[in-house]
């Protein structure tokens, strides 16, 4: 049986895995079909910063040879994926979307990449675009130019994992890795009509992930289906001696949560997440999805997360504070951009950092340094840490009574490219529904749940108890079957 290129790139990770196992397709054919899809689509979308076509074709050849030998095969052997360009892959450029790291070639591989590629056998087709140092919600803050939303090229795909969401939505890769510090997997997944899952803080090692805000950063999958998210999670989770914050709890087989019902499950709906100003189309799609959950036998319970309104303020102290110290390492001395012609050290530091960092990154560094400076530390950073605890307790209380929480991901659909570049505050405020989970360390997932009045994708937000990604997969997989299908993107 010979499959056409479009049949190949329209596959999911799971269906391609099956086709490989059945001998209906080779890894070389899969990789080639996706590389041509990238050639056809990415000129317009700009989802990739670096393509690694030659390495991918070599890896496909090896994968096909390994498969031919038979025996126990790695679970994702020969399947083409993409990596957010915040994740180090040895010998490949890792830019973090920044001029600062424009020519930085990673000397080692991130644990999540090692697990996905070296151990589970997936093949990376390249490094995906993002907001600089993962700071942003639109993809427009990349030194390498904005990524476009495959469903509406005049609109943003969301951010900061802009390239990951756009590449999966447009079938350029079967699945991708992103990172989520304040919503960067879930919000672009919602805007692009794909699945995005942020695991519990510590589930996936942060080793080799360019640091933004270390108490919040977490790696997770962007996929076409919930089943694919389970396959990706199986590959990347687990304790890592190189990351002291990684969790040693056992990692279940997440595919065991597929194909189950949700009868009797208690789903909490937080009043505070249907915020004032929420787009009516988003509200309608999310409410319809919650009604479907009820039809499927779940019990819908109204809950309250009273400190939600403080989440944006809290995050925008803690994240910039941590970022300002993480980014202190880019001093023009050891690696990264160095300004030319400086006559003394401080001038070299100042000019390297001014030239190397974009406007949003510099803004965050200044906020962070101010919040941490002596005399202000207690009033800002100390206070924010206290409020963070209150936000976490809101969830603890809610979860005494419910198994999972359902809400919108973003109060609005994808907005127009350029519309907000001069209004950072508006962008910060739109993170209101994703940030609280990061502050509390909880897992969360966005699954496609239809469209707004203009036909733009809307995501349903499922929020789980700590370490309970399994229930997110169970609910997401069950609902996916009764919700409108993920929107697809036609060929170029």
Contact residues for ligand GLN (CB under 6 A)?
134-137, 160, 180-184, 212, 319, 431
Burial group, residue 250, by CB count within 10 angstroms (0-12, 13-18, 19+): exposed
Burial group, residue 55, by CB count within 10 angstroms (0-12, 13-18, 19+): middle
Of 27, 137, 184, 205, which is the active-site residue? Answer: 184
Our answer to whether residue 90 is catalytic in this structure is no
Q: Which is nearer to ligand GLN, 95 or 137 (CB)?
A: 137
Of 26, 27, 124, 160, which is the active-site residue? Answer: 160
Annotate 411-435 with b (16+ C-beta within 10 A) or e (fewer): bbbbbebeebeeebeebbebbbbbb
Q: Which is nearer to ligand GLN, 109 or 160 (CB)?
A: 160
Least Cα distance to 34 among 64, 19, 56 occurs for 56
Our answer to whether residue 224 is catalytic in this structure is no
Q: Which is nearer to ligand GLN, 316 or 332 (CB)?
A: 316
Least Cα distance to 56 among 27, 85, 84 occurs for 27
Separation CA 111–CA 204 (nearest Å)? 8
Q: Name beta bridge partners: 105.
A: 93
Minimum distance, C-beta of residue 256 to ligand GLN, in the bound complex (Å) = 29
- Residues 123, 97: contact at Cβ < 8 Å? no
Of 17, 84, 127, 292, which is the active-site residue? Answer: 84
Q: Which is nearer to ligand GLN, 8 or 134 (CB)?
A: 134
Supply the DSSP symbol for 366: H
Minimum distance, C-beta of residue 141 to ligand GLN, in the bound complex (Å) = 8
CA atoms within a 13 Å half-sphere pointing along the CA-CB vector of 98: 28
Minimum distance, C-beta of residue 447 to ligand GLN, in the bound complex (Å) = 18
Minimum distance, C-beta of residue 201 to ligand GLN, in the bound complex (Å) = 12
Q: Which is nearer to ligand GLN, 134 or 439 (CB)?
A: 134
Separation CA 471–CA 489 (nearest Å)? 30
Q: Tokens 């041509």 — which residue? A: 36
CB within 8 Å of 385: residues ≥ 6 apart? 318
Q: Which is nearer to ligand GLN, 136 or 238 (CB)?
A: 136
Q: Tokens 């990347």 — which residue? A: 236
Supply the DSSP symbol for 382: I
Minimum distance, C-beta of residue 180 to ligand GLN, in the bound complex (Å) = 5
Our answer to whether residue 115 is catalytic in this structure is no
Q: Is the peptide bond before 393 cis (omega within 30 degrees of 0)?
A: no
Minimum distance, C-beta of residue 84 to ligand GLN, in the bound complex (Å) = 10
Supply the DSSP symbol for 105: B
Minimum distance, C-beta of residue 457 to ligand GLN, in the bound complex (Å) = 18
Minimum distance, C-beta of residue 367 to ligand GLN, in the bound complex (Å) = 11
Alpha helices in 296-401 (DSSP H): 311-326, 345-356, 359-372, 383-398
Q: Distances in Å between the alpha carbon of 110 and those of 32, 162, 219?
A: 26, 20, 11
Q: Which is nearer to ligand GLN, 258 or 429 (CB)?
A: 429
Q: Which is nearer to ligand GLN, 305 or 319 (CB)?
A: 319
H helix and E strand count, the chain:
16, 11
Q: Name beta bridge partners: 481.
A: none
Q: In this structure, are strands 80-84 and 123-128 parallel, antiparallel, or unpaired?
A: parallel
- Count of C-beta atoms within a 10 Å radius of residue 70: 7
Separation CA 212–CA 231 (nearest Å)? 26
Q: Which is nearer to ligand GLN, 164 or 205 (CB)?
A: 164
Q: Name beta bridge partners: 93.
A: 105
Minimum distance, C-beta of residue 199 to ligand GLN, in the bound complex (Å) = 13
Residues taking part in catalysis: 84, 160, 184
């Amino acid at each position: 049986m010979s499959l056409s290129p479009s049949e190949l790139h329209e596959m999911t990770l799971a269906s391609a895995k099956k086709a490989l196992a059945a001998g209906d397709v080779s890894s070389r054919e899969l990789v080639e079909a996706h590389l041509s899809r990238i050639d056809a689509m990415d000129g317009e979308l700009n989802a990739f910063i670096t393509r690694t076509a030659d390495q991918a074709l070599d890896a496909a050849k090896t994968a096909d040879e390994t498969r031919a030998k038979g025996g126990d095969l790695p679970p994702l052997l020969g399947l083409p994926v993409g990596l957010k360009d915040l994740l180090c892959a040895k010998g490949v450029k890792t830019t973090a979307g920044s001029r600062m790291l424009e020519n930085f070639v990673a000397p080692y591989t991130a644990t999540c990449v090692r697990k996905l590629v070296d151990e589970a056998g997936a093949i990376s087709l390249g490094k995906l675009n993002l907001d600089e140092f993962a700071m942003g919600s639109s993809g427009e803050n990349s030194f390498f130019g904005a990524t476009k939303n495959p469903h509406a090229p005049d609109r943003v795909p969301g951010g900061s994992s802009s390239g990951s969401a756009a590449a999966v939505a447009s079938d350029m890769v079967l699945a991708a890795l992103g990172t989520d510090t304040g919503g960067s997997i879930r919000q672009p997944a919602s805007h692009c009509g794909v699945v995005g899952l942020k695991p519990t803080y510590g589930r996936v090692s942060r080793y080799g992930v360019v640091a933004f805000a270390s108490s919040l950063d977490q790696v997770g999958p962007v996929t076409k289906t919930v089943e694919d998210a389970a396959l990706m999670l199986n590959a990347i989770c687990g304790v890592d001696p190189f990351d002291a914050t990684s969790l040693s709890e056992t990692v279940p087989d997440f595919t065991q949560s597929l194909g189950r019902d949700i009868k009797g499950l208690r789903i909490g709906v937080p009043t505070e997440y249907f915020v004032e100003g929420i787009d009516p189309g988003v509200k309608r799609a999310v409410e319809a999805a919650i009604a479907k959950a009820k039809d499927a036998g779940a019990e819908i319970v109204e809950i309250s997360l009273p400190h939600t309104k403080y989440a944006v303020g809290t995050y925008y102290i803690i994240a910039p504070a941590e970022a300002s110290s993480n980014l202190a390492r880019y001093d023009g001395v050891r690696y990264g951009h160095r300004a030319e012609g400086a006559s003394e050290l401080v001038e070299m530091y100042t000019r390297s950092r001014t030239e190397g960092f974009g406007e949003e990154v510099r803004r965050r560094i200044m906020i962070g340094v101010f919040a941490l400076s002596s005399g202000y530390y207690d009033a800002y950073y100390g206070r924010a840490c206290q409020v963070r605890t209150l936000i976490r307790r809101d969830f603890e209380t809610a979860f005494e009574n419910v198994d999972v929480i359902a809400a919108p991901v973003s109060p609005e659909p994808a907005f127009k490219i350029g519309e907000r570049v001069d209004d950072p505050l508006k962008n910060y405020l739109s993170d209101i529904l994703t940030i609280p989970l990061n502050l509390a360390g909880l897992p969360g997932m966005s699954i496609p749940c239809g469209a707004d009045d203009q036909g733009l994708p809307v995501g349903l937000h499922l929020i789980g108890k700590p370490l309970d990604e399994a229930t997110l997969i169970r609910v997401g997989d069950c609902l996916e079957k009764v919700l409108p299908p993920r929107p697809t993107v036609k060929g170029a």
